[in-house]
Structure 1
Amino acid sequence: MDPVFEVELRCADAWPAQVEERLGDWRLRAAGGFTGRANSTLTSGDPGVPVPEALHRAVVFAKANGIGPTAHVVSDSRHEDAVRSAGWVVDEGHPGGAESGVLVGSLAGFRGAEVAGVSVSDVPVPGWWELVASGTPTDAQRHVLASGTGTGFGVVERDGEVVAAVRGAVVGDLLHIARLAVRPSHRRRGLARGLLVGLAAWGAERGAVRCALQVAAHNTAAWELYESLGCVEHHRYRYWVPA
C-alpha cells in the first residue's frame, strides 16, 4: 500500500466522523462542522468513478448533512490536478488554515524530563473537555473525540486543576496525537513535552511503535515541539472547495 495512503487512512480511523459514507477508497465525512478532517471528503485512493463524478457526490453528501462541500486532498497527489480541473480551489479562508502537514515519528524518540501530574485515562475528565473543547462539548465533539476505541485522554494536573491536555488514539501500530493544549498560565514549563512523553508510553503499552500528527502549516511552535521529539514531515494536504 502507498505509504501516504496508509497514513491518511489510519489518521481517518483515529478521527471518526458522525456520518461517513464510502465511495471506493474515498471517505465522505460529516460531523456538524467540528474540524475540517471530520467534515471533508478524504480523496486518498481510488473513488471507483471519475473524479468529477466523485466530487459531485461529495457535494450532494455535504448538502444533505448541512456542511459546506470540502475535499481533503494530499498535496502533489494524483488527484490534485483532477480536483483543480473540476473547478475546485484551495480554501484559503479555512478557519484552521488551508494547508496542514502530517508528521510521523518513532515513539522511541519521545524522551524528556519526567513531569509530575501526568496521567492518561480511557475516559476524559471534565477539565480535559474544558481545554480541548472550550467547555461543555457538543454532540459532534463527543463523537469525534471520545467515541472511538483505543482512545486515551492525557492530562497534567496541578492542585486539582487540569493545566494541559491531549488526545491519543491507537490504530494498529500507530498512535495518532491531537488536541494538545496548555493553559496560558502554565506554558513554557515543559508540560506539553512531558505530557507527550506520557502519552507515548501509554500508546506503546497498547502496541503502538510510531506516531502521526496533523499540524497546520502556520503552527510553527507545534512543528518545533514535535520535531524536537524526532518527528519529521511525511506529506501535506490541503482543503479544496468548489469555486
Structure 2
Amino acid sequence: MRDVTELEQRCADAWPALVDQPLGQWRLRAAGGFTGRANSALTSGDPGVPVPDALARVVDFAGRNGMAPTAHVVVGAPVEARVEAAGWRVDVDHPGGAESLVMTGGPAGFASPKAAGVVVADAPPPGWWELAAQRDPTPAQRHVLTSGDRVGFGAVLRDGVAVAAVRGAVVGDLLHVARLAVHPRARRRGLARELMRGLAAWGVEHGATTCALQVAEHNRPAIALYESLGCAEHHRYRYWVANHA
C-alpha cells in the first residue's frame, strides 16, 4: 500500500494552489476559496517545528491570505490528537462534508481506450468549464484546474459540447482524478463510467500505474461507482478549524 504522506503529497501536487508555502513536510495552501484542499494546510508528515508552533503559522498564513485557518488532517494520524489538543475542532459545516475518503486503484484494470465518445484533451473543450466549475471560471479556478505538468480534460461530447466532464493529472506514476460531473439531462446513461475508463486509458498512456481520487463520505453513488471500477478506500481526511475562526 502506498504511504499516506506520499499519497497526500502527490495529490497536492496534482491540485496546485495559487499559494503553496512549505513548512517542513506540511504545505500551507491558498487559492481564493476554491476547494478545501487548495485552501488548507496539509498536515501530513513532519512540519519541522512543534505542532502548536506549526498551527500558529497556519493561523498567520490564513490571515495573510484572507481565509479561515484550516487544517487538512488524515483521520487517525498522530497529528490529529495534537491538533485537537491545540483547541481546534472538526469543521462539521464544511461545504463538501466533514470527512472525505481517498480512494485508490489500478487504472489499467478499468481502462478502455475505445470508450465511446470520450475525449481527453490538453485544453478544456466547449462546455467543460460549466460542468467542472462554472461558465466563467475565476483566476483561482483556472490555476488549480489547468496547472500541472500533465493535465487532461476528459469529456463526453454531444454535438461538440461536453455533457460529462472530468479532470485528470498525472504526477509521477499517479493519475489523480477530480471534478467528475454529468449534465443532469445526460445522467443514468453510463457516461460517468465511460468517462472514467477513457481517462484511465489516458493516464496509463502517460505512465500511471495507480489512480487516486477524493470523495465526500456522504456521496454514496460516487463511491459505489469507484468501487465498481476496482477502487478502494486508502484513508480518510477531514478539515479542522481554529476555534476562534
Q: TM-score range by the shorter chain?
A: over 0.9
2:36 alignment partner in structure 1? 36
Query: 2:205 aligned with 1:205, yes or no?
Result: yes
Q: Is the 8 A contact 1:111 1:229 kept in 2?
A: no
> Equivalents in 2 of 1:111, 1:6: separation in Å?
24
Question: What is the correspondence of 1:151-170 to structure 2 with a 5 Å cutoff?
Answer: 151-170=151-170
Question: What is the correspondence of 1:44-63 to structure 2 with a 5 Å cutoff?
Answer: 44-63=44-63
Query: 2:190 aligned with 1:190, yes or no?
Result: yes
Q: How many residues align?
A: 243
CA distance 1:152–1:2, change in 2 (3 Å): closer
Question: What is the correspondence of 1:66-145 to structure 2 with a 5 Å cutoff?
Answer: 66-110=66-110, 115-145=115-145
Aligned-residue RMSD, C-alpha:
1.4
Q: Is the 8 A contact 1:169 1:175 kept in 2?
A: yes
TM (norm. structure 2) is: 0.96
Q: Is the 8 A contact 2:111 2:201 kept in 1?
A: no
> Equivalents in 1 of 2:64, 2:50: separation in Å?
21
CA distance 1:93–1:231, change in 2 (3 Å): same
Segments of 5+ residues of structure 1 without an aligned counterpart are: none
Displacement after TM superposition at 1:114 (Å):
5.1
> Equivalents in 2 of 1:125, 1:157: separation in Å?
9
> Equivalents in 1 of 2:71, 2:169: separation in Å?
23
Q: Is the 8 A contact 2:26 2:42 kept in 1?
A: yes
Q: Is the 8 A contact 1:74 1:236 kept in 2?
A: yes
SS of equivalent to 2:177: strand
Displacement after TM superposition at 1:109 (Å):
2.1
SS of equivalent to 1:208: coil
> Equivalents in 1 of 2:22, 2:116: separation in Å?
44
> Equivalents in 2 of 1:163, 1:2: separation in Å?
34
Displacement after TM superposition at 1:135 (Å):
1.1
Q: Is the 8 A contact 2:115 2:197 kept in 1?
A: no
Question: What is the correspondence of 1:22-33 to structure 2 with a 5 Å cutoff?
Answer: 22-33=22-33
1:77-129 Cα distance to aligned partner (Å, 9 max, x none):
01000000000000000011110000000012215795422100111123111
Percent pairwise identity:
68
SS of equivalent to 1:126: coil
Q: Is the 8 A contact 2:111 2:199 kept in 1?
A: no
TM (norm. structure 1) is: 0.97
2:11 alignment partner in structure 1? 11
Query: 2:222 aligned with 1:222, yes or no?
Result: yes
Q: Is the 8 A contact 1:112 1:193 kept in 2?
A: no
1:129-152 Cα distance to aligned partner (Å, 9 max, x none):
111112110000000000211000
Displacement after TM superposition at 1:212 (Å):
0.2
Deviates more, 1:233-242 or 1:157-166: 157-166
